[in-house]
Amino acid sequence: MKTRIILRLLSAMLLAATGVIESEAREIHMIAPEIPPHFDKSGRGRIADVVRAGLEKCGHRVRFTMVPFGRHWKDYVDDASFDGLATAEADQTFPGHSTKPFMRLQDGATVRGSGGLEAIVSVNQLKAMRVVAFPAADKILGIQAQVPQFKSFAMRADRFDQLRPLFADRADAILADGLITAHFIMTLRDRARAGLEPNINPLGRVVFRKIFASGPQRLYFRDAAIASDFDRCVGELRADGELLRIAKPYVDRFRDILGDQYPDD
């Protein structure tokens, strides 16, 4: 017993000397957006699983409250009962303490495999094209200057409403995160096979192209010690290859659409 206490004291002294903050193990209540396959409605997914693994490696437990995308930022600010926020973009600031970037999202263009844009590398190549994107994409993606050059530009919140025009030949490109788009394409294909999409044929080849910079993702925690814990423990997961093992299968599932255009972790 005395030996254990001494070792714990020595460990605490070493962490203090190196500037590392260590916290007592606890349950962390986080708010996150339902954006499968990064976060599904049950709190699992590519990013969710990494967040859980990082906190559990430090001895914590995590409980997610899932809300529609965009509401997670507002609810975290308005409700101090949430211990943490998943996730924040590089240019966003929230109450509490930010972690270091630990994963990346990748926005880009999803296009038909034989529509002439399958090798697109720049948004400028969408001049005179019909483009569909998510709400506020013009600002988030920084394409306000290019939008007037598009033949048409629509922003839609519903993922299926984003995708159906591509398969009905009413759009040339969908601008959004590639992994989320691929997930909903596969769901749309399942619906078509079940006879639930009589007006489109989503079974043709589509490809994703990363025409925007990747988006580093961070977490926010009210407690600086939890943020420090997460940085340290997710760093250990990355060093031993565990982070890649957790995240990569979510990308591999959609490799026929994503190719090498989406980050594995």
| pTM of the predicted model as reported, rounded to 2 decimal places | 0.88
pLDDT in tens, 219-239: 999 999 999 999 999 999 999
Task: Give the whole-number percent of the chain exceeding pLDDT 90.
Answer: 88
CATH superfamily of 23-105+216-256: Periplasmic binding protein-like II (3.40.190.10)
Q: What does DSSP say about strands 173-177 and 130-133: parallel, antiparallel, or unpaired?
A: parallel
Range 46-69 average pLDDT = 97
Cα–Cα distance between 14 and 24 in angstroms, integer?
16
pLDDT of 14 higher than 80: no
Do the beta carbons of residue 50 and residue 217 sit within 8 Å? no
107-209 topology per CATH? D-Maltodextrin-Binding Protein; domain 2 (3.40.190)
- Which residue from 76, 57, 62, 74 is spatially nearest to 28, judged by alpha carbons? 62
pLDDT in tens, 186-212: 999 999 999 999 999 999 999 999 999
Q: Do the two domains 23-105+216-256 and 107-209 of this chain adopt the same fold?
A: yes
DSSP annotation string for 136-170: THHHHTT-TTTGGGSSEEEE-SSHHHHHHHHHTTS
Cα–Cα distance between 187 and 160 in angstroms, integer?
9
Do the beta carbons of residue 209 and residue 116 sit within 8 Å? no
Classify residue 136 as exposed, middle or buried by CB count within 10 Å of its CB (0-12, 13-18, 19+).
exposed
pLDDT of 51 higher than 80: yes
The predicted pLDDT at position 24 comes to 76
pLDDT of 247 higher than 70: yes
Residue ranges of alpha helices (H) inside 65-197 are 71-78, 137-140, 159-167, 178-193
Assigned token pair, 121: 């590398």
Sequence-ordered list of residues with C-beta below 8 angstroms from that of 180, at least 6 positions apart, any chain: 35, 36, 37, 38, 159
The predicted pLDDT at position 15 comes to 43
Rounded mean pLDDT of the chain? 92
The predicted pLDDT at position 114 comes to 87
Classify residue 141 as exposed, middle or buried by CB count within 10 Å of its CB (0-12, 13-18, 19+).
buried
pLDDT of 16 higher than 70: no
Domain ranges for the chain, please list them.
Answer: 23-105+216-256, 107-209
The three-class DSSP label of residue 30 is strand
Question: To 5 degrees, how large is the angle CA 149–CA 151–CA 152?
Answer: 105
Assigned token pair, 240: 């031993």
The predicted pLDDT at position 2 comes to 43
The three-class DSSP label of residue 66 is strand
pLDDT in tens, 81-138: 999 999 999 889 999 999 999 999 999 999 999 889 999 999 999 999 999 999 999 9
Do the beta carbons of residue 88 and residue 109 sit within 8 Å? no
pLDDT of 4 higher than 80: no
